[in-house]
Structure 1
Amino acid sequence: MTFPIGGITIPSFPTVSAIGSTPDVAQPPVVSAADNGFADVLTGAIENVQGVQANADALAVQAATGDLKDVHDYMIAAQEASLTTEMFVTIKNKAVEAFTEIMRMPI
């Protein structure tokens, strides 16, 4: 006995740039290395972390209220916020460690 197999249609998937982009939530600012100084780079990095966390928080609220279409968007944003925060804390710890080592140097 044979079973006929019909044609398989593959749905179109969103492009990588469309994944995680929600029109209701503001995107975090991009930190540029061409800023005026270290203070500007540090301020931009803090704003970047805050923007990513705000995006994840907004998507969490949407998920809790049932307004979010895809839970994947929240999961991606939450993981991005976690990694961004972890990276920022690691860089901060290394900067404090470097400053401590500079302060220990004899004059």
Structure 2
Amino acid sequence: MSSPISAVTSAIAPPAVVAPISLGETSAAESASGSGFGAIIGKALESSQQVQDRASELAVKAATGSDIDVHNYLAAATEANLTTQLTVQVRNKAIEAFQEIMRLQA
């Protein structure tokens, strides 16, 4: 049995090879391949949205009386909850990092 954490990490798994993040401008190759930091975050958010959509779809089916497997619904709802918590924590860490950078510049 896999843990809920492994389900979330597999849903938001980064690409196998991540290019180093540079603070300068992106090169034409990075822009064309979409391997920049923004692209990785964008893919993770898209994956999170897909998980949320799946949980919502199953919730509607359950509410309308459609024949669904309750286990699948509960798993999808838990995965959506964990994905949301992970997204919020990543956002919080990004804000903390930004605030720390701003303190360094002062």
Per the normalisation by structure 1, the TM-score is 0.66
**Rg: which structure is higher?**
1
Q: Aligned-residue CA RMSD in angstroms?
A: 2.3
Q: Which amino acid aligns with 2:92?
A: N
Counterpart in 2 of 1:91?
A: 90
**1:39 Cα offset (Å):** 0.6
Deviations 1:14-43, CA, capped at 9 Å, x for gaps: x97xxxxxxxxxxx7864264511110111
Pairwise CA distance, 1:89: 0.5
**8 Å CA contact 1:56, 1:78 repeated in 2:** yes
Q: CA separation in 2, counterparts of 1:101 and 1:84? A: 26
The alignment partner of 1:101 has SS state of: helix
- Structure 1 residues 59 and 31: CA distance shift in structure 2, 3 A: farther
Structure 1 segments of 4+ aligned residues over 6 angstroms from their partners: none
The structure with more helix, counted as a fraction of residues: 2
Correspondence for 1:81: 80
SS at match of 2:41: helix
CA distance in structure 2 between the aligned counterparts of 1:38 and 1:96, rounded to whole angstroms: 16
Greater RCO (CA < 8 Å, at least 6 residues apart): 2
Percent identity between matched residues is 46
